[in-house]
Structure 1
Amino acid sequence: MFSPLFKRTIMICSLLLSHFSYAEINLAEIHAHLPEGASLGFVAKNLNKNEKIVAHQANTFMLPASTQKVLTALTAKLVLSDQFQFETSLLTNGKIKNNEIDGDLIVRFTGDPDLTSGQLYQLFSQLKKQRIQKINGDIILDTSVFSSHDRGLGWIWNDLTMCFNAPPAAVNIDNNCFYVELDASYAPGEQAKIRVPAQYPVQVFGQVYIATTKEAGYCQLDATVLDNNRYQLKGCLARQNKPFGLSFAIQDPNAYAATIIQRYLKKVGIAFKGKIKQPYQAQKGQLLAQHLSKPLPDLIKKMMKKSDNQIADALFRTIAYQYYQRPASFPLASQAMRQILQTKAGIKLGHAIIADGSGLSRHNLLSADILLQALEYIAKHETQLQLMDSFPVAAVDGTLTGRGSLIHEPLAKNLIAKTGALKGVYNLAGFMTNKKGEKVAFVQFINGYSTGDFEHKTKRAPLVQFESQLYNRLYEH
């Protein structure tokens, strides 16, 4: 039997050794590279040894930004099968007689984030191939899979016209985004010309004048959204030698789809004089034509590699729709994610706030420790989940292609991570293989990052220095 004194000595030595192993990576020293005022939450764990290497404010809630997509990808894999596909279809509640639909045409949208206008046109072309020449009833838009607002709580109001913030609605055509051309090649004082391509059923108008060189530094170009997908541009800008493109998010996807559908019917030569209705209830009918999206693994890979917000939030609400078998709102999807992660993966979100699946919301709050749980689960169940391949690879693809801190060996091609960026936010969550060939999971949350009035080229220099030192030391550990 060991004496109490010997046991106490062993315990003290263990604590000292534990402290020493954490101290091998001096995070305080590396943290000093970040601009004053920046907050850091960081944790790294050696999965082979089941030991934390370093932790700093790992239980502090911070904005996860797009690292939130790791939770969305995992939850989707836990609920939806790899054969899952979004469906866009044409049905009828009537009968087809004498090349006419004697009843309503139902157009069912389920939130396919990859649906293009060309694919939608092909659906209506299939009706023509069935020799249908006329619709005697109405057109019913079935968007019943989703309910309530098509944007998450906490999305920034002045980003709502931006394409990365387009509503991930049940109707999602061409990412619910359109493009216009602005010609500001005229003399100062004259108005810029706005040209809208004919394929977009929107109106864009305004008064944008060309500023003098002296005025240009004080100019601002604004976009105001009106009803029925009308947009007003106002303000001023410096003279431009060539026309340039501007992109905007569709504000009313249902109205947008209604106009496009009528255009396509006319284009394929199917007569229609009824009304377009938008009931809240799911519609039933005989299937006439169908388009399926790519399967779940392909969607997740695109979501993770390109940080696609549309796919993330479409999956976010679809998970809730499948799980609860009822129209899904953003709050219901948050509830579903929380319950699924806890019951199926043992991941407790605790006091974390989940407002969306993309990480766009400024209401989201997550700790590095919680996200580390998800990474550990992914690594442990990779054989079943097959998620590792969806993470961007440093210096190779996705959002890590040109990240300056990770483009050199030994980090290049050896580190995979989901990025997360909002104004003032630079996050990473992923895995690396260290010098000994051991798997290391890590979560980096940097919030409140600001370089003040530094030139644009130097804004990321402190971040590059911080990450380069941190992950090289993590590799050598």
Structure 2
Amino acid sequence: MRKSAFLLFSVISLLSCSSTKKTIQKETKAVLLNPFFENQFTGFLVIDAEKKDTIYSKNPTKYFTPASNTKIFTLFTALTMLPDSIPALKYIVRGDTLYMEGTGDPTFLHPDFSSQKTLDFLKTFKHISFYPNNFYDEKYGPGWSWGDYSYSYQPERTAFPIHGNTVSIYKEDSLNISPKFFRNGVVEIEFPKNREKNKNLFYFNPIRKDTLQIPFIADSTLIKELLGNVLDKKVQIVQKMPLGEKSVFYSIPKDTVLKKMMQESDNFLAEQLLVLASSTISDSLNINSVQDYILENHLSSLEQPPRWVDGSGLSRYNLFTPKSIVQVLDKLYSDLPKEELFNFLAVGGVSGTIENWYRGNPNPYVFAKTGTLSNNHCLSGYLTTNSGKTLIFSFMNNHYRQPTAEIKKRMQRILELLRDNY
């Protein structure tokens, strides 16, 4: 009798789950078949995080421009390859001289990171010799827009970033410039661009009220001067490191950088994190090498290998499928405690790039990464349902002409449907 009752309960549960899925699939399909979506390319995959059961699928194996959803792969790489604290530099000490080379650490003198252990470390040496030639990559990623060189979201990639590779300018009673080193290179004038293309000459509109951040052109001479300026000592450039085993100095906790990168969609941090990851497998810093390493050694099971060209998603050369993104999110879900993983992500209605969308009532239900370029918007991450289940999803929209806000409204309708009914 007890066995029969259990079997009956199991059958009823299966039928109920099947009915729920069919309802969700029917209503989701109705939204996506609306004429609104006719002239764009849409991909959507959502699975149950525990059962691995597919709840809805549309174009899951087609390739899309992911924009900043690329940072999900950067997050996976950093969590897989970097130690708990950021490797700040590699060095060898000879007498009272520190010979050093960069690892790509983006936090050195960055205005958003108060801890400056590396600076304190460098100050303990009488002489500093800097080796600048270990970066075997381009300062801009493949497919980046050349016209965006003066915008804050596209700083140069370097082996030894300093001050976030940007100049910060704002005006109160007088003009404030950080680092002050660039004071003589700032002109107060309204101008179409914030900086000359090929030199560090910056333009600032004197009636501007907010802070303007402008990438500077970084070369070895400038880095030497900026470093010498902050250390108040002469820094020498050397053409090679001394022979011998290099030590590594570590700066701030890795998780601090990952959280800012993911929640604020910080392109500079994303690019430099891949440079950092490459420093753990070679002294020659190269983003492609670490991407190949990750795909061959840790993500070889992806059914549709991505075209992955940068760390941030600035490039339209990137191509990812919803299924590949969901597979990586699933790996992260399996490897990390849920609370720790969700802490890296923007939270619907609460924080980051989705602070004004996907608001829960009363609790947050979307923990995800956005990805936006003109005419493209993607959202991938995790959704917690009212019944307590966790779903993994990737929602990708490419080549639309409607306002992005209208795309988000329809995405929100579908995500709320999943939240309320699964």
User: Which TM-score bucket, shorter chain as reference?
Assistant: 0.7 to 0.9
Aligned alpha-carbon RMSD (Å): 3.6
Structure-1 separation of matches of 2:355 and 2:148 = 25
Partner of 1:166: 155
Shift of 1:438: 1.8
Q: 1:432 to 1:368 in 2, by over 3 A?
A: same
Q: Report the more deviating stretch, 45-54 or 29-38.
A: 29-38
- Deviations along 1:28-53, one digit per CA (max 9) or x if unpaired, are 42453856633211111123332211
Q: For the pair shown, which has the larger CA radius of gyration, 1 or 2?
A: 1
1:425 aligns with 2:376: yes
Structure-1 separation of matches of 2:180 and 2:353 = 31
Number of aligned positions between the proteins: 399
- Name structure 1 gaps, 5 residues minimum: 1-12, 97-103, 184-192, 210-219, 452-458
State how 1:52-451 maps to structure 2 within 5 Å. Answer: 52-81=54-83, 83-88=84-89, 92-93=93-94, 95-96=95-96, 105-116=98-109, 119=116, 121-127=119-125, 132=126, 135=127, 140-143=129-132, 146-181=135-170, 199-201=180-182, 204=185, 208=189, 221-227=192-198, 229-231=199-201, 233=203, 245-265=211-231, 267=232, 270=233, 272=234, 276-279=236-239, 281-283=240-242, 292-323=250-281, 325-343=282-300, 346-350=301-305, 352-383=306-337, 386-403=340-357, 406-409=358-361, 412-451=363-402
Q: 1:278 to 1:394 in 2, by over 3 A?
A: farther
Shift of 1:474: 1.3
Question: Secondary structure of 2:348's match?
Answer: coil
Shift of 1:435: 3.1
Structure-1 separation of matches of 2:286 and 2:333 = 30
- Deviations along 1:344-374, one digit per CA (max 9) or x if unpaired, are xx33443x20001211111100010111111
Q: 1:78 to 1:245 in 2, by over 3 A?
A: closer
User: Is the 2:46–2:393 Cα contact (8 Å) retained in structure 1?
Assistant: yes
Q: Report the more deviating stretch, 154-163 or 383-392.
A: 383-392
User: Is the 1:194–1:204 Cα contact (8 Å) retained in structure 2?
Assistant: no
Q: 1:199 to 1:24 in 2, by over 3 A?
A: same
Question: Secondary structure of 2:180's match?
Answer: coil
User: Is the 2:348–2:365 Cα contact (8 Å) retained in structure 1?
Assistant: yes
User: Is the 2:108–2:163 Cα contact (8 Å) retained in structure 1?
Assistant: yes
Same amino acid, percent of matched pairs: 19
Shift of 1:377: 1.7
Q: 1:19 to 1:125 in 2, by over 3 A?
A: closer
Structure-2 separation of matches of 1:283 and 1:143 = 14
Structure-2 separation of matches of 1:24 and 1:295 = 46
Question: Secondary structure of 1:446's match?
Answer: strand
Question: Secondary structure of 1:71's match?
Answer: helix
Structure-1 separation of matches of 2:167 and 2:290 = 28
- Deviations along 1:75-104, one digit per CA (max 9) or x if unpaired, are 2222333x34222477543x34xxxxxxx5
Structure-2 separation of matches of 1:107 and 1:277 = 10
Q: TM-score, normalised by structure 2?
A: 0.81
The one-letter code of the counterpart of 1:147 is Y
Structure-2 separation of matches of 1:242 and 1:310 = 24
Question: Secondary structure of 2:292's match?
Answer: helix
Partner of 1:10: none
Q: 1:198 to 1:393 in 2, by over 3 A?
A: closer
- Deviations along 1:111-169, one digit per CA (max 9) or x if unpaired, are 11111178365345333xxxx4xx5xxx5323455312132111111112222211231
- Deviations along 1:242-293, one digit per CA (max 9) or x if unpaired, are 665432112215333211233245x3xx5x4xx84253x54457999x9632
Partner of 2:4: none
The one-letter code of the counterpart of 2:316 is R
Q: TM-score, normalised by structure 1?
A: 0.72
Structure-2 separation of matches of 1:198 and 1:301 = 25
Question: Secondary structure of 1:409's match?
Answer: coil
Structure-2 separation of matches of 1:202 and 1:107 = 28
User: Is the 2:152–2:166 Cα contact (8 Å) retained in structure 1?
Assistant: yes
Question: Secondary structure of 1:165's match?
Answer: coil
The one-letter code of the counterpart of 2:87 is F
